[in-house]
């Protein structure tokens, strides 16, 4: 079985891309070692920000609710130590919630890597097979078939870039990993539609079908699909955020 390396499938959040669409996540520092690319580096070299970096300028109610829920769970499950002050307890609650979030991100990255490996190489470790098999089923129901291009990066002349989970000449697809959910839970939010719209336009193919596939990190094979319309609404929303990001960061290429 293949050994998956999450670093091979790094999320694009906070990343930069060259005008040719190549990842520019790191630069060579003055000390001769690689370091993360900064806004100053990007200005110097003409790099463009990732789609998800741009989307961060807008509030994400779903994410904020999840963070608040994690804090409440930590507060309810952690015992308070004898003579511990409320402030010290609060610090420990936040630390515990952050640790749970870190573990969730790691599980999500591992599953995400397995999905991308499935479409790039075919075989995945046995624990991920129920999920990738169900993804194939859901794509077939939508009438979407390969060949697929996985983890392709791009840069748009409009001044943004990104790395796309999966696409072909018919559709652009983004995977979202979640711990679990109940039937009827709201999973999709406007930023998801904006992200896919930015990808479609960034590829120069604004009429691509736009699909989010939500996959559970806790229940193998649990998958939910949302297909967005390809109207101009989400694209216009993203363009406004892009303009705001450029002005806020004094980054007008």
pLDDT of residue 9: 43
pLDDT score of 231 = 81
Tell me what pLDDT residue 29 has. Answer: 85
Termini Cα distance of the chain: 46
pLDDT for 14 equals: 60
Q: What CATH number does residue 206 fall under?
A: 3.90.320
Under the phi-then-psi rule, with left for phi > 0, alpha for psi from -120 to 50, and beta for the rest, what region is 103? alpha
Has residue 85 been placed in a domain?
Answer: no
Do 203 and 168 touch, CB atoms closer than 8 A? Answer: no
pLDDT value for 253: 61
pLDDT, tens digit, for every residue of 76-108? 899 989 888 999 999 999 998 888 888 888 888
- What's residue 11's pLDDT? 47
Higher pLDDT, 88 or 63: 88
Q: With beta carbons less than 8 A apart as the criterion, state whether 127 and 111 touch.
A: no
Q: How far is CA 185 from the centre of its chain?
A: 20
Rounded to a whole number of angstroms, the CA Rg of the chain reads: 20
Query: 140 in a domain, yes or no?
Result: yes
Give the rounded percent of residues in the chain with a pLDDT score beyond 90: 67
Q: Considering the domain boundaries, does residue 234 fall inside one? A: yes
> Which residue, chain included where needed, has tokens 């995977």?
175
Say if 91 falls within a structural domain: no
Judge whether 174 lies within some domain.
Answer: yes
Q: What is the mean pLDDT of the chain?
A: 89
Structural domain boundaries enclosing 30: 7-59+128-248
The tally of domains found in the chain comes to 1
pTM for this entry: 0.86
Write out the DSSP string of 161-208.
Answer: EEEEEEE-SSEEEEEEEES---TT-----HHHHHHHHHHHHHTT-TTS
Dihedral angle sign, alpha carbons of residues 194, 200, 204, 205: negative
Between CA 46 and CA 5 the distance in angstroms is 30
Q: Is residue 103 part of a domain?
A: no
Mean predicted confidence (pLDDT) in 161-185: 94
Arithmetic mean of pLDDT, 134-150? 95
- Evaluate whether residue 253 is within a structural domain: no
Residue matched to tokens 């690689």 = 34
Q: Provide the pLDDT for residue 10.
A: 45
Residue 11 domain flag = yes
Calculate what percentage of the chain has a pLDDT beyond 70. Answer: 94
């Amino acid at each position: 079985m293949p050994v998956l390396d999450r670093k091979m499938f790094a999320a694009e959040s906070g990343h930069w891309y060259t005008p040719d669409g190549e990842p520019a996540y790191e630069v060579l520092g003055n000390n001769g070692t690689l370091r993360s690319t900064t806004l100053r580096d990007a200005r110097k070299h003409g790099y463009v920000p990732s789609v998800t970096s741009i989307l961060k300028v807008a509030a994400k109610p779903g994410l904020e609710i999840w963070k608040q829920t994690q804090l409440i769970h930590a507060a309810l499950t952690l015992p308070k130590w004898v003579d511990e002050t409320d402030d010290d307890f609060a610090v420990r609650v936040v630390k515990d919630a952050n640790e749970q979030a870190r573990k969730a991100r790691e599980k999500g990255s591992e599953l995400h890597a397995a999905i991308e490996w499935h479409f790039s190489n075919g075989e995945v470790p046995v624990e991920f097979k129920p999920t990738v098999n169900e993804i194939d089923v859901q794509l077939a129901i939508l009438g979407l078939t390969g060949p697929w291009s996985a983890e392709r990066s791009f840069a748009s002349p409009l001044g943004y870039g990104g790395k796309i989970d999966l696409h072909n000449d018919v559709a652009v697809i983004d995977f979202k990993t979640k711990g679990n959910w109940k039937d009827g839970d709201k999973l999709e939010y406007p930023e998801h539609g904006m992200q896919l719209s930015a990808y479609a336009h960034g590829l120069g193919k604004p009429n691509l079908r736009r699909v989010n596939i939500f996959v559970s990190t806790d229940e193998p094979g649990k998958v939910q699909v949302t297909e967005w319309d390809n109207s101009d609404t989400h694209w216009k929303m993203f363009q406004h955020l892009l303009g705001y990001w450029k002005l806020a960061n004094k980054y007008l290429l």
